[in-house]
């Protein structure tokens, strides 16, 4: 035992790592291969104990979103995304090596595909930041006993499986492991926000998720100093501060934005019931529409929208099938005046002819759902 402890201490100098995005220094005493082996053992144990869902609607949406999030991480792992039947369990988990599980009780709180993406991105964040290996390393340092040595050696003793399952602080010393757990949870939130944005899921959905979680938990939550997780309110506040940086990675197509707002499959008694048709997103009205000529070769269209929008593109169609397209990144307030100019050279002959021109604007609403919209205005140019 003494030799094992001395060997463990001697390895500390060569066991430093750095978490992605946050650049936090970490101490990890187990290799990636050992992490993956332990994660696979623990996942097998959880799968035997819990009831794996066979509902194709649930498994397909988790698998599809999970794979898309994992691809955005750029990390090669033996990724596996599973659904477990427990409608009362509002939770998900991740294990070293890329094993991720979601309980069906999380679906009503996540609400949409983007909400589920926020959860899965958080769990993938745990994996790529090697939080499991970090927690195991903390256990080695704190316990320095036979069970801890077996965990570090990657043995097949049942203690190994219990150690991995406890890698996220399921019972530890207040003031030592629990604060570390909160640090890792916040870090996974931060990493996950970037991952979901890179996968073209609106990161605003993470904010909505934790606001709903806060309402659901209410007064049933334990005091935060006795918890391995930050409070939902604190998490929402942190996400607000991180959103601008995450949004820099968010470049969805209109189809991807619409997909993110799709509701998740129902669970429990509602399972199998037909979902009511979702209301179409409102169409903003183009107000103050007029046109101006800028010399003989340019034509400018003036407009304002009746509600706040994130404008992404515009198209001008004129007589003889004239089409001009422009991509934009503009957030407009309600009734904010804006212009789109048909430039010289866009029209054969260089002079836009008189006739009917149609301005089509495309974008999304700047809310957590991020629903896309299309608005049109016709101009009679003389």
The predicted-structure confidence for 127-170, as pLDDT tens digits, reads as follows 999 998 898 887 777 665 444 444 444 555 555 445 544 443 33
Instruction: Say whether both 33 and 87 belong to one domain.
Output: yes
The pTM of the full predicted model, rounded to 2 decimals, is 0.62
pLDDT at site 231: 80
Instruction: Say whether both 251 and 355 belong to one domain.
Output: no
Domain contains 106: yes
pLDDT (tens digit per residue) in 180-222: 578 899 999 999 999 999 999 999 999 999 889 888 776 455 4
Instruction: Say whether both 138 and 41 belong to one domain.
Output: yes
Tokens of 4: 């094992």
Q: Which of 123, 134, 187, 312 is catalytic?
A: 123
Phi and psi based region of residue 373 (left: phi greater than 0; alpha: psi -120 to 50; beta: remaining)? beta
Instruction: Say whether both 264 and 291 belong to one domain.
Output: no
123 has catalytic annotation:
yes
Number of domains in the chain: 2
Domain contains 346: yes
**Residues contacting 376, CB < 8 A, separation 6+:** 286, 358, 359, 360, 361
DSSP characters over 297-364:
TEEEEEEEESS-EEEEEEEEE-GGG-EEEEEEEEEE-TT--EEEEE-TTSSTTSSPPSEEEEEEEEEE
Distance CA 80, CA 58 (A): 14
Q: Are 139 and 148 in contact (CB under 8 A)?
A: yes
Cα 38 off chain centre by: 26
Domain contains 281: no
Residues 139, 143, 144, 145: is their CA dihedral positive or negative?
negative
CATH no. for residue 346? 2.60.40.2150
Residues 244, 248, 249, 255: is their CA dihedral positive or negative?
positive
Instruction: Say whether both 128 and 214 belong to one domain.
Output: yes
pLDDT (tens digit per residue) in 350-367: 788 888 888 889 888 887
Domain contains 307: yes
Domain contains 230: yes
- pLDDT band per the 50, 70, 90 thresholds, residue 368: low
Rounded mean pLDDT of the chain?
80
Instruction: Say whether both 218 and 293 belong to one domain.
Output: no
Tokens of 23: 């650049």
Domain range for 185 is 2-270
Q: Where are the alpha helices (DSSP H) in the chain?
A: 2-10, 32-49, 56-73, 107-110, 113-128, 131-143, 146-153, 158-165, 177-198, 204-217, 232-247, 254-260
Instruction: Say whether both 55 and 82 belong to one domain.
Output: yes
Tokens of 106: 């999380």
Q: Which of 46, 12, 64, 317 is nearest to 168 (CA)?
A: 46
pLDDT at site 157: 53
Instruction: Say whether both 265 and 296 belong to one domain.
Output: no
Encode burial over 309-342: b for 16+ CB neighbours within 10 A, e otherwise.
Answer: bbbbbbbbbbeeebebeeebeeebeeeeebebeb
Instruction: Say whether both 48 and 102 belong to one domain.
Output: yes
């Amino acid at each position: 035992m003494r030799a094992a402890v001395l060997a463990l201490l001697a390895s500390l100098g060569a066991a430093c790592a750095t978490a992605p995005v946050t650049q936090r220094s970490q101490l990890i005493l187990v290799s990636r291969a050992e992490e993956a082996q332990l994660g696979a053992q623990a996942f097998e144990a959880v799968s035997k104990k819990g009831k794996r869902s066979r509902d194709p609607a649930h498994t397909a949406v988790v698998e599809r979103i999970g794979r898309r999030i994992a691809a955005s991480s750029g990390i090669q792992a033996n990724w596996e995304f599973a659904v477990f039947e427990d409608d009362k369990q509002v939770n998900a988990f991740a294990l070293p090596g890329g094993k991720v599980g979601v309980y069906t009780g999380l679906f009503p709180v996540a609400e949409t595909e983007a909400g589920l993406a926020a959860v899965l991105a958080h769990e993938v964040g745990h994996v790529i930041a090697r939080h499991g290996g970090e927690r195991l390393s903390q256990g080695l340092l704190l316990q320095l006993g036979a069970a801890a040595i077996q965990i570090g050696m990657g043995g097949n003793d049942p203690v190994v499986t219990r150690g991995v399952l406890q890698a996220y602080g399921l019972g530890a010393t207040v003031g030592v492991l629990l604060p570390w757990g909160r640090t890792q949870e916040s870090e996974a939130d931060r990493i996950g926000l970037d991952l979901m944005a890179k996968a073209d899921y609106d990161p605003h959905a993470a904010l909505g998720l934790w606001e709903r979680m806060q309402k659901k938990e209410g007064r049933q939550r334990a005091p935060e100093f006795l918890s391995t997780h930050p409070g939902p309110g604190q998490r929402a506040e942190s996400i607000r501060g991180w959103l601008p940086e995450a949004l820099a990675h968010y470049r969805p197509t209109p189809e991807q934005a619409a997909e993110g707002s799709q509701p998740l499959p129902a669970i429990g008694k509602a399972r199998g019931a037909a979902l009511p048709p979702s209301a179409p997103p409102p169409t903003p009205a183009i107000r103050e529409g007029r046109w101006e000529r800028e010399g003989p070769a340019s034509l400018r269209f003036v407009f304002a929208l009746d509600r706040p929008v994130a404008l992404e593109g515009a198209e001008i169609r004129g007589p003889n099938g004239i089409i001009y397209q422009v991509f934009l990144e503009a957030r407009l307030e309600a009734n904010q005046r804006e212009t789109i100019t048909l430039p010289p050279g866009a029209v054969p002959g260089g002079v836009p002819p008189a006739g009917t021109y149609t301005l089509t604007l495309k974008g999304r609403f700047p809310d957590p759902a991020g629903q896309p919209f299309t608005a049109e205005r016709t101009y009679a140019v003389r």
